[in-house]
């Protein structure tokens, strides 16, 4: 995904990020060609925090207790970049991006363009339903 403007805010939907074999590496790569990068999800905050903490992912923003829609709207208002790109994993994410004024990019297309390896979708789906608790700071 090189060659474009770095004046961009990139938001990964959590389930899309989980589809990557090495989400931490992908996040670090994205920092090379974006201004801001973060994760949005309808999952509870601790699920996103645990996932990113365990992979040493430093976010510029995350959805917190807000819905994906509210998060995308707030991030777009807060981070005034030329482009706002939402990396998601399905028709609902594509429709949400369109409704909130974000460009949509399917995780498969993002992975191909950036050279990121996709992981096992079955494994990502099964781990998405398991609550992860890690009460340590």
Q: What is the pTM of this model?
A: 0.84
**Percent of the residues in the chain that have a pLDDT greater than 70, as a whole number:** 84
pLDDT tens string 38-86? 999 999 999 999 999 999 999 999 887 899 999 999 999 999 999 999 9
Residue 121 predicted with pLDDT over 70: no
Q: 56: which DSSP letter?
A: T
Phi, psi values for residue 11, rounded to 5°:
-120, 125
Q: Phi and psi (nearest 5°) for 84?
A: -130, 115
Angle at 118 between CA 112 and CA 120, to 5 degrees: 150
């Amino acid at each position: 995904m090189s060659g474009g403007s770095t004046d961009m805010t990139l938001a990964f939907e959590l389930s899309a990020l989980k589809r990557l074999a090495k989400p931490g590496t992908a996040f670090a790569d994205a920092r090379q060609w974006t201004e801001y990068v973060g994760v949005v999800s309808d999952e509870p905050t601790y699920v996103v925090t645990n996932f990113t903490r365990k992979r040493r992912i430093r976010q510029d923003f995350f959805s917190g207790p807000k819905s994906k829609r509210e998060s995308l709207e707030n991030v777009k208002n807060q981070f005034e970049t030329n482009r706002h790109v939402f990396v998601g994993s399905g028709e609902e994410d594509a429709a949400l991006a369109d409704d909130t004024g974000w460009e949509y990019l399917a995780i498969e297309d993002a992975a191909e363009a950036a050279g990121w390896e996709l992981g096992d979708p079955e494994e990502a789906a099964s781990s998405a339903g398991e609550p992860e608790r890690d009460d340590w700071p």
